[in-house]
A and B are shown apart, each in its own frame.
Chain A
Amino acid sequence: MTNATSGAKRPAWLTVFGVFSLVLFGYGMYSALVVSPPDRNQGDLIRVMYAHVPVAWLGFAAVAASAVWGMLYLWRGRAVDDVRAQANAEAGLLFSALTIFGGMTYSKPTLNTFWTWDAKLTLTALMLALIVGYFIVRGLIEEPQRRARVSAVVMIIVLASLPFNYLAAEWFRTLHPAKSVNLDGSGVSMDPVMLRVLLINVAAAAAVFIYFVSERIRIGRLALTRGQMADAAQTASQQGGREVVSVR
């Protein structure tokens, strides 16, 4: 707030990191489309997985990050933490929407249906609905502090709902709870080349994600500074005029 002009200048590392993310993303695409061998069962369709799985993981990471920033806001009350929580939530909205889109395109040719009530996809759909609710709540509250506090609480509930919703989605199609839980993914063996390609794509998606969020935080901070300056200017003009009116 004291040094408004320095915040307006775009930091150089952000541009460098953006270019790096783009290059890594290109390399990930190349690995997925060219380097990776076709799958024994799914053939070339396995290449969808390299885009789908990293995006899905990051969608969940985004919600967790947003909830953590929300908790920090509730603890410290710093407006910038709300900006960070919001930026992560927006990325979570985008990535979970992409996850559902990717999952549906993936399951149409492999399972011959767009929607299978697959546990992880169902969980993502519920999470997407919850993130949409988060943004509806944000949009309805005018006062910045109350908005930050209430939306942090909503995101904490979203995070808390994930394990329960996962169990529910997992058990939805089975008769008995606790039979089909297989969290460790045991029995899945992956070709080393494919695993490497997957990890490259996870890194690429994470870089793109971090770039998006950093850029969004930068813009959010500018908006925050501008809002505070406008408040200060209003207070000053009111003080200079008739009487002292405290804003907020």
Chain B
Amino acid sequence: MNDLIAALAVARKDFLQELRSRATTVATLFFSGITLVMMAFGLGRDPDLMASAAPGVLWVALAFAGVISSAQSFQADLEEGALEQLLLLPVSRAAVYLGKLLASWLYLSVLGIIMLPVAFALYGASAPAETWWVLVLTVILGGLGFAVIATFYAGLTANLQAREALLPVLMFPVIVPVMLGAVRATESALLGGADIGLAASWLQLLAGFDLVYLVVCSSIFHFVVDD
């Protein structure tokens, strides 16, 4: 119970901090936007190709945004020794991890829901109206998968040199299944109709991933932050 309150307090702190500074929000929002534009220039001008590439490009942009936001979240805590203070709390390390994860998840989900229509508009893709819940669920479950791994590795690399370059190297090979599941579920939603059943099985993959890594990461997080 104590841990739950602590986790919520940590999440609230991260969220308030972001709400007040807005540094990461501005950076990641425009970063994902500009990634979408750059990828469009990279892919050429075939409209069909662009429409079919939309889900993949969207999730690549979100993956990079996830790296930046979670690295930034620990970076902010590292300044003024706030992370050490946080670890002095008489609660389990898992609570601190879950708190930061919660903030990161919420953040990525909001970012994903904002970027979804932007990507579809830029790439000329459109989804049937009745599949909106598949898209939202994909963003929520995919965002959780990214956040679980990104928060864990951001904590692990917080004290290391070259962490900005190191973080994607460490986390991208792990989030390959999330990437695949999220992209395929988004594709199924775009097609609509009978493909909704396919989306459900990809969402199951995402949920399974999220659950397993949530347990694994929160149970071994204390090894990476303890001194």
A residues lining the B interface (CB < 8 Å): 74, 126-127, 129-130, 132-133, 136-137, 140-141, 146, 149-150, 152-154, 156-157, 160-161, 164-165, 167-169, 171-172, 175-178
Closest partner residue, chain B, to A176 (CB atom): B198
Residue in A126, A140, A161, A178 whose CB lies within 8 Å of B201: A178
Chain B residues 177-227 with CB under 8 Å of chain A are 177, 180-181, 198, 201-202, 204-205, 209, 212-213, 216-217, 220, 223-224, 226-227
Contact in complex: B220, A130 (CB < 8 Å): no
Contact in complex: B220, A154 (CB < 8 Å): no
Provide the bound-state CA to CA distance between A161 and B216, in Å.
11
Contact in complex: B173, A153 (CB < 8 Å): no
Contact in complex: A137, B170 (CB < 8 Å): yes
List, in ascending order, chain B residues with CB within 8 A of A127's CB: 173
- CB B41 to nearest CB in A, in angstroms, measures 26
Contact in complex: A150, B169 (CB < 8 Å): no
Residue in A74, A160, A161, A178 whose CB lies within 8 Å of B173: A161
| Interchain Cβ contacts under 8 Å between A and B, 29 examples | A74-B220, A130-B173, A130-B174, A133-B166, A133-B173, A136-B170, A137-B157, A137-B160, A140-B162, A146-B227, A149-B226, A153-B223, A156-B216, A156-B220, A157-B174, A160-B213, A160-B216, A161-B173, A164-B209, A165-B173, A165-B174, A165-B176, A165-B177, A168-B181, A171-B180, A177-B201, A177-B202, A177-B204, A178-B201
Closest partner residue, chain A, to B172 (CB atom): A129
| Contacts A137-B160, A157-B216; A152 near B223 (Cβ below 8 A) | yes
Contacts A156-B220, A171-B180 known; 14 new A-B pairs at CB < 8 A: A74-B220, A133-B166, A137-B170, A140-B160, A140-B162, A150-B156, A153-B224, A157-B152, A157-B217, A160-B216, A164-B212, A165-B177, A171-B205, A177-B205
Contact in complex: B156, A153 (CB < 8 Å): yes
Provide the bound-state CA to CA distance between A164 and B177, in Å.
6
Label chain B's interface by main secondary structure.
helix
Answer yes or no: B161 CB below 8 A from chain A CBs.
Answer: yes
Chain B residues 142-184 with CB under 8 Å of chain A are 152, 156-157, 160-162, 166, 169-170, 172-174, 176-177, 180-181
- CB A76 to nearest CB in B, in angstroms, measures 13
Provide the bound-state CA to CA distance between A146 and B157, in Å.
12
Closest partner residue, chain A, to B171 (CB atom): A133
List, in ascending order, chain B residues with CB within 8 A of A177's CB: 201-202, 204-205
Closest partner residue, chain B, to A178 (CB atom): B201
List, in ascending order, chain A residues with CB within 8 A of B220's CB: 74, 153, 156
Interface size class of B (residues with CB under 8 A): 20 to 34
Provide the bound-state CA to CA distance between A31 and B224, in Å.
48
Contact in complex: B202, A150 (CB < 8 Å): no
Contact in complex: A154, B177 (CB < 8 Å): no
List, in ascending order, chain A residues with CB within 8 A of B161's CB: 140
Provide the bound-state CA to CA distance between A15 and B142, in Å.
52
- CB A155 to nearest CB in B, in angstroms, measures 11
Contact in complex: A149, B201 (CB < 8 Å): no
- CB A63 to nearest CB in B, in angstroms, measures 12
List, in ascending order, chain A residues with CB within 8 A of B174's CB: 130, 157, 161, 165
Contact in complex: A160, B176 (CB < 8 Å): no
Contact in complex: B198, A175 (CB < 8 Å): yes
List, in ascending order, chain A residues with CB within 8 A of B209's CB: 164
**A153, A160, A164, A168 interface centre (most CB from chain B within 10 Å):** A164
List, in ascending order, chain B residues with CB within 8 A of A140's CB: 160-162, 166
List, in ascending order, chain A residues with CB within 8 A of B223's CB: 74, 149-150, 152-153
Provide the bound-state CA to CA distance between A153 and B177, in Å.
20
List, in ascending order, chain B residues with CB within 8 A of A165's CB: 173-174, 176-177
Residue in B152, B180, B204 whose CB lies within 8 Å of A168: B180
Provide the bound-state CA to CA distance between A153 and B166, in Å.
16
List, in ascending order, chain B residues with CB within 8 A of A169's CB: 176
Provide the bound-state CA to CA distance between A58 and B220, in Å.
26
Residue in A146, A149, A156, A168 whose CB lies within 8 Å of B177: A168
- CB B175 to nearest CB in A, in angstroms, measures 9
- CB A75 to nearest CB in B, in angstroms, measures 11
